[in-house]
């Protein structure tokens, strides 16, 4: 079977940050005052009712935190990914990213971008 991946991409231009993502790789912005801001939200059926509804409307099945598609081998924990072609049949999974723009301002300290292996510890 063909594999797949999640992705989070950042672009900084001046003080403007653009974030695009599919799946559950996350980005967060740390501020100089010690505050932090999540820049992404996971594309999964467990935490997103709209993603769950979209998958089911396209003919996919939801089993707890997992997404299943008839004819596709295995279950996935994400509702958007790159690759995973068999799961994308009929629009059950999407490769379309969400995109967000953030003004970094003067108090941005650093960015953290990581896969679920870091965030789920």
Q: Which of 67, 62, 118 is nearest to 94 (CA)?
A: 67
Is this model's pTM higher than 0.85 or not?
A: yes
Query: Looking at residue 21, which CATH number applies to its domain?
Result: 3.60.40.10
Asked whether the predicted pLDDT for residue 1 surpasses 70, the reply is no
Place of tokens 């089993």: 63
Please compute the mean of the pLDDT values over residues 92-97 and round it to a whole number. 97
Q: Give the total number of structural domains in the chain.
A: 1
Confidence band of 25 (pLDDT split at 50, 70, 90): very high
Residue 57, both tokens:
């409307």
Full residue range of the structural domain in which residue 55 is found: 4-119
39 against 3, higher pLDDT: 39
Q: Any idea of the CA torsion for 95, 100, 104, 108, to the nearest 10 degrees?
A: -50
pLDDT of 44 reads 94
């Amino acid at each position: 079977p063909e594999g797949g991946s999640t992705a989070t991409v950042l672009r900084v231009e001046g003080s403007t940050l653009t974030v695009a993502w599919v799946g559950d790789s996350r980005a967060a912005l740390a501020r100089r005052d010690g505050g932090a801001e999540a820049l992404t939200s996971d594309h999964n059926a467990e935490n997103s009712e709209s993603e769950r509804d979209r998958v089911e409307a396209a003919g996919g099945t939801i089993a707890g935190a997992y997404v299943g598609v008839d004819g596709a081998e295995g279950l996935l924990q994400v509702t958007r990914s790159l690759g995973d072609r068999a799961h994308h049949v009929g629009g059950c999974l999407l490769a379309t990213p969400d995109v967000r723009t953030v003004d970094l301002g003067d108090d941005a300290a650093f960015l953290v971008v990581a896969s679920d292996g870091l965030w789920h510890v």
